[in-house]
Amino acid sequence: MLLTGEPAVGKSEVALDLITRGHRLVADDAVEITRQEDSFLKGRCPAVLQDFLEVRGLGLINVRAMFGNSAIKPSKFLHLIIDLQRLRDDELADIDRLYGSHSKRTILGTEVDQTRLPVAPGRNLAILVETAVRQHLLITDGYNAADDFSQRQQAAIDRPTD
């Protein structure tokens, strides 16, 4: 999963929160993405930035020194982009309440699924990112909660009443 968004939107803070929850960091601020022969994208960290995470107010931290070797992953295939966005009220109103805000982004000629997550005070972005990844995995496996809900609702509407 790749976190994207404007500067100072909270990407590094979300990454730090995810690390404390047992997830691993590949890269912060710059990731080298290569296209593998089977059309998969693989991300890795440039050597000079390896292990470092920059957090505003704290400066640079060494994730490996602070959290151990298991907090770092040298490379990872890219399956999902989470785009953190500060949205105006009218933009928030345009997000589909059942299906969310999902799209595709093309990187090196390969389409990657993308979920746009609104950033706002009080939102627990680490939990939302984890949930977005789990939702993506379910959809990839063929289950979509919005479709399930719509079918249940339609069945309830179609059910004869006595």
Q: State the chain's mean pLDDT as an integer.
A: 94
Q: What percent of the chain has pLDDT over 90?
A: 84
Calculate mean pLDDT across residues 79-96: 90
Query: Could you tell me what percentage of the chain is helix, strand and coil, using 3-state DSSP and rounding each to the nearest 5?
Result: 35, 30, 35
The structure's pTM equals: 0.90
Spatial CB neighbours of 162, under 8 Å, sequence gap ≥ 6: none
CA-to-CA distance for 150 and 147, rounded, in angstroms? 5
CA-to-CA distance for 114 and 121, rounded, in angstroms? 22
* 20 — pLDDT class (breaks 50, 70, 90): very high
Residue 8 predicted with pLDDT over 80 = yes
Which CATH code fits 2-158?
3.40.50.300
Q: What percent of the chain has pLDDT over 70?
A: 99
Residue 66 predicted with pLDDT over 90 = yes
* 92 — pLDDT class (breaks 50, 70, 90): confident
Neighbours of 26 (CB within 10 A): 20
Q: Please tell me the predicted confidence (pLDDT) of residue 127.
A: 96
Residue 59 predicted with pLDDT over 90 = yes
